Amino acid sequence: MTVLVTGGAGFIGSNFVYLLLEERPEWKVVCVDALTYAANIHTLNDAMQNPNFVFYKEDIRNREGINAIFEKEHPDVVVNFAAESHVDRSIENPAIFLETNILGTAVLMDACRKYGIERFHQVGTDEVYGDLPLDRPDLFFHEDTPIHTSSPYSTSKASADLLCLAYHRTYGLPVTISRCSNNYGPYQFPEKLIPLMINNASQDKPLPVYGEGLNVRDWLYVKDHCYGILAVLEKGRVGEVYNLGGHNEKANIEIVKIILKELGKPESLITYVTDRKGHDQRYAIDPSKAMAELGWAPTTMFKDGIKLTIQWYKEHMDWMKECTSGDYVKYYEEMYGKR
C-alpha cells in the first residue's frame, strides 16, 4: 500500500505521517509539500530516516509536477492535508487560499482520475458549517448541517469539499471527506492560538486575545484526529462525510488562562485586542456518525493533551525559533503591531 500525503511537513500532516510510519509499518508513505511558510522541513527529520518514507518538494497546484509523482510512485491512496490554513491570513489575502485549497485539490483529483486510485481523502474543517450562537449550547454541527461559511479560508475549504463530492458523483472517484474541529498538539505553527500563546508567554510577551476572548472552539488532540482519518480510510464509505471532534468546547480566554497557569506566568500578560473581522462565535461538532460507523473515539482528555503540548513546545524551543525567525517577525508586526 502506498499512501500519498500532501501537506505532510505541516502540523496535522506531519503528525499523520508519524502515525502511519508507527501504526502501518508495511505501508509506503510518500509526502508532497511545497514547504510554504507554514512548513518546517526539520519536522520530518525522523521520518527521513525511515526507508518507507519519501519526500517530494512540490506544489499541488503544479499539474505536471503532481502527475510526475503519480507516474513514479503509483499511490493507492491520497490524503490531502495541503492547504493555506490560517483564517487571519485569508482575510488579508484571499487569492492564495482559492488557488491552493480549491484548484490544488482539483489538480490532485485529476491525477487520481488519470492514474487510478483506491481512495482520495480530503481533510476538511468544521468551519464549513459557519458558526453557532453562544446562547444555544444545545446546537451542534452534523454532517447535513448546511454549508454556511464566514471567512475566505472556510469558503475555500467548503468549495474544495463540494468539488470532491462532485468528482465522486460525476466521475465515480472514490472520495471521502472528514471535517474536524480545532486541533492542538506538537508541530503547530505559532500563528494559531495555542502555540502563539505558549510562545509569547514563554518570553513574557503580551498575549493578544481577540475581542473579549469569549469565542468558543471545540479542541481535539491532533493524534486523535489522525486516528480518525485512518479510521475513515479503512472503514469509511466512499462519497461520505465524517465529522471528527471530541465534545471539548472552551472559550479562548479559558485556554489562554490554562496556558499561563501551566507556564507559571501572570494573567497580566493578557492583552485584549481588536476582534477578527467576521469572527465565528462558536464551533461544536457532533461526532456520533464517526463513532457509530467507524468505532472511532478520541482518547486524549484536554487536561492531559494540553500538558503534553506545552511540555513538547518547552522541549522544542529550537523548532519554535526556526518558525518565528525571518518572515514571522514581519507577519507578527503586520497582524498585531497596530491592533
**Contact set with ligand TYD (CB under 6 A):** 87, 182, 192-193, 196, 208-210, 215, 217, 252, 276
**If we measure between CA atoms, which residue out of 117, 107, 135 comes closest to residue 34?**
107
Tracing cell 492514474 back to the chain, one arrives at 115
Pattern 118-157, ligand NAD, x by CB under 6 A:
-----x-x-------------------------------x
Cα–Cα dist 243/237, whole Å:
13
Q: Interacting stretch for ligand NAD, rule CB under 6 A, among 8-16, 133-141, 248-256, 315-323?
A: 8-16
Q: Using an 8 Å Cβ cutoff, are 87 and 217 in contact?
A: no
Size of the site for ligand NAD (CB under 6 A): 30
Least Å from the CB of residue 305 to ligand NAD: 13
Count other C-beta atoms under 10 Å from residue 296's C-beta. 23
Among positions 65-84, residues that touch ligand NAD (CB under 6 A) are: 81-84
Residue 216 vs residues 105, 248, 260: alpha-carbon distances, Å:
29, 10, 18
Q: Using an 8 Å Cβ cutoff, are 31 and 54 in contact?
A: yes
Cα–Cα dist 302/262, whole Å:
13
| Active-site residue set | 126-127, 153
Pattern 29-58, ligand NAD, x by CB under 6 A:
----xxxx-xx-------------------
The entry of ligand NAD, ligand TYD, none that residue 217 binds, CB within 5 to 8 Å by partner kind? ligand TYD
Does residue 11 bind ligand NAD (CB under 6 A)? yes
Tracing cell 506531519 back to the chain, one arrives at 14
Count other C-beta atoms under 10 Å from residue 21's C-beta. 18
Binding site for ligand NAD (CB under 6 A): 6-7, 9-13, 33-36, 38-39, 59-61, 81-85, 100, 104, 123, 125, 157, 180, 182-183, 189
